[in-house]
Amino acid sequence: MNKKTIAYQGVRGAYSHLACNNVFPESNSIACESFQEAMSLVEKGEADLAMIPVENSTAGRVEEIYRLIPKMELNILDEHFEPVKHCLLGLKDSSISDIKYVSSHPQALAQCHVNITNRNIEAIAKFDTAGSAQELTSMRDKAHGAIASSLSAELYDLNILDDNFGDHHGNTTRFLILSKDMLIPEYDENESYITSLVFEVRDIPSSLYKALGGFATNGVNLIKLESYSVPGSMKATQFHIDIDGHISEKKLQLALEELKFFAKDMKQLGVYKRNPYRDVMKTFNK
């Protein structure tokens, strides 16, 4: 793949930055202060792609993203699953017994709560994981540590005191790779695909039940159904669905025809290959 410019939310060393490096090792990554800024750079053509987290196996969905996606002028090009391995970081001359305080994003602290408690360490909430690592370099205090990625340790010249500090193994974040272009892969019966879209239902009785009925009658599997209120309205509800299938399959076309009859403002977000990591997660969760 040609060298890309890819935008992500966070500072250098964030898990989103690590995901960019793993998927596009030759890319130029751009750190952004917000998800909206990262997506906007792609919309304006100042970046080729955006790497955006949508859900985590431990913390759940990233609420803000599901509200931004319907407004964006971008398309889902692919999905990526990034295992999250929290590292306890300290200064170069520190040891794990020196750490009395540890800083990180509240979700990272929560995901390491048992280890933090068992070691009698005081947790300090910060804006993000990599930012905590960056701040650590200027503190020069061996009693302070940070929970962040291994990439943060490399970038900020820190010591990895524990490379598996999280309480739960298998912690994984799902990312969407967003592009300005709608690039739909050609259908191959030997491949598996996901079609993602958003819609509102019409204000009629049992509209959601009827809208989704076409998927059942045509034997189409829904992988995900997310609902959230439309901003500025206490009544309108928007739905995000990930469908197991390719838009060119006849059974999916029939299901979408029925959906259109009961839904409004339907928007196709993307058609992309189903990531094989989904099968790994199934095996892990058995």
Q: Which residues are catalytic?
A: 173, 175
The token pair at 2 is 């040609």
Give strand ranges (E) for the chain.
5-9, 28-32, 49-56, 60-61, 75-83, 87-90, 101-104, 122-125, 144-148, 159-162, 172-179, 193-201, 221-229, 237-244, 263-273
Cα 181 to chain centroid distance, Å, stands at 20
- Residue whose token pair is 């990591």: 277
The token pair at 87 is 């590292």
Return d(Cα 278, Cα 284) in angstroms, integer: 10
Whether the Cβ atoms of residue 2 and residue 30 lie closer than 8 Å to each other: no
Q: Is 194 helix (H, G, I), strand (E, B) or coil?
A: strand
Strand order through the sheet with 263-273? 221-229, 237-244, 193-201, 263-273
The token pair at 32 is 């952004």
- Residue whose token pair is 């970038």: 155
Whether the Cβ atoms of residue 173 and residue 119 lie closer than 8 Å to each other: no
